[in-house]
């Protein structure tokens, strides 16, 4: 699997309080090959709930993956942002986010009352981004039918934190363990 190869080659840096992987898939270092995105998108499509009306992700690192899944499935995409459009009247949901890398607010447009949503993200670490996305979808009147993350950084309790905060179990494609000097694929 190409994703495993990407993580076996990943570098590790300290980003504030956290160990962060730097790699092709999440950071485009080196540039992200389309075949990696397509492979991961097909793996997500195999495990995801298909009876949904929208895909939701965040605009940072999950955007390329969720866009690829949207293109392959024909399911519309809504992206949460780190800033507001301040347009009013668009059911904008503003939720607090406290993740491994960011603490602040997340803004979601494009989800409407009655939407069945799948949340797709690149990496699950502490679970903060997924929890915020679930809160935003519910705040908009939507239902979260599924959550799939391509990679889980085990040891950061993301799966447990998401279940505890939302009752939703996250589906994972690849699990990695990040230490000071390397990334180990489990």
What's the whole-model pTM score?
A: 0.95
- Closest-CA residue to 118 (of 70, 55, 43): 55
**pLDDT for 90:** 76
Residues 27-31: what's their mean pLDDT? 95
**Domain residue ranges of the chain, discontinuous segments joined by +:** 33-178
CATH 3.20.20.60 fits 33-178, yes or no: no
**pLDDT for 88:** 66
Q: Predicted confidence band at 18 (pLDDT cuts at 50, 70, 90)?
A: confident
pLDDT digits (tens, 9 = 90+) for 75-97: 999 999 998 876 666 789 999 99
Residues 120 and 109: their CA atoms lie apart, in Å, by 16
What DSSP state is assigned to residue 74?
-
Tokens 């939701």, residue? 56
What DSSP state is assigned to residue 16?
T
């Amino acid at each position: 699997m190409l994703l495993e190869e990407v993580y076996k080659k990943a570098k590790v840096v300290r980003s504030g309080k956290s160990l962060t992987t730097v790699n092709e898939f999440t950071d485009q270092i080196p540039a992200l090959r389309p075949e990696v995105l397509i492979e991961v998108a097909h793996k997500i499509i195999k495990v995801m709930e298909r009876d949904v009306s929208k895909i939701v992700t965040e605009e940072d690192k999950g955007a390329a993956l969720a866009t690829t899944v949207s293109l392959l499935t024909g399911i519309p995409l809504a992206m949460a942002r780190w800033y507001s459009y301040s347009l009013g009247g668009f059911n904008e949901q503003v939720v607090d986010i406290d993740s491994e890398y960011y603490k602040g607010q997340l803004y979601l447009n494009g989800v409407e009352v009655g939407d069945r949503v799948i949340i797709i993200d690149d990496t699950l670490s502490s679970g903060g981004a997924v929890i915020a996305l679930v809160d935003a979808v519910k705040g908009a009147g939507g239902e979260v039918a599924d959550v799939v993350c391509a990679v889980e950084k085990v040891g950061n309790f993301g799966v447990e934190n998401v279940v505890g905060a939302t009752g939703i179990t996250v589906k994972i494609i690849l699990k990695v363990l990040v230490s000071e000097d390397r990334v180990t694929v489990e």
